[in-house]
Amino acid sequence: MKNSQWVGIGAALLVVAACFMPWAYFPDLQKEFTGFFSEQNRYGRPGKVLIFFCVVEIVFFLIPRIWAKRANIFVSAVGFAWAVKSYMLYTACYRGTCPERRIGIFLVLGGALAVLVASVLPDLPVKPEGDRG
């Protein structure tokens, strides 16, 4: 795909921005959780890990080498898995209370999926092989 690296970079920046948005609202605590805040830090700070993966993905998108494109597939797959894990963690019900999902968690999940698809479709010129006689 011709513009896949720019789509991937845009999606990675979307994931970074979504880490600062509200991910879930917990009505029993009356608090909104983000990628960097949870009550008593029980869910950790998955936003830090997602931002690290996004920075590495952006660097790999900008390097026009085959090893970078292959490494980017691996890094983006791990980043997508981390986004799915965060989605499941932040939206799971506990003790009969289900949190309200907010837009940030959906943007993280969708952006990580877009980065993964863009990394599978790299824009790398292929050198033609010589004629085989």
28 half-sphere exposure, CB direction, 13 A CA radius = 8
pLDDT single digits (tens) 102-115:
999 999 999 999 99
**What residue type is assigned to position 94 of the chain?**
Y
pTM assigned to the model = 0.88
Which DSSP state fits 31?
E
The answer to whether the CB of 75 falls within 8 A of the CB of 63 is: no
How many other CB atoms are found less than 10 A from the CB of residue 53?
A: 23
**What average pLDDT does this structure show over 34-42?**
86
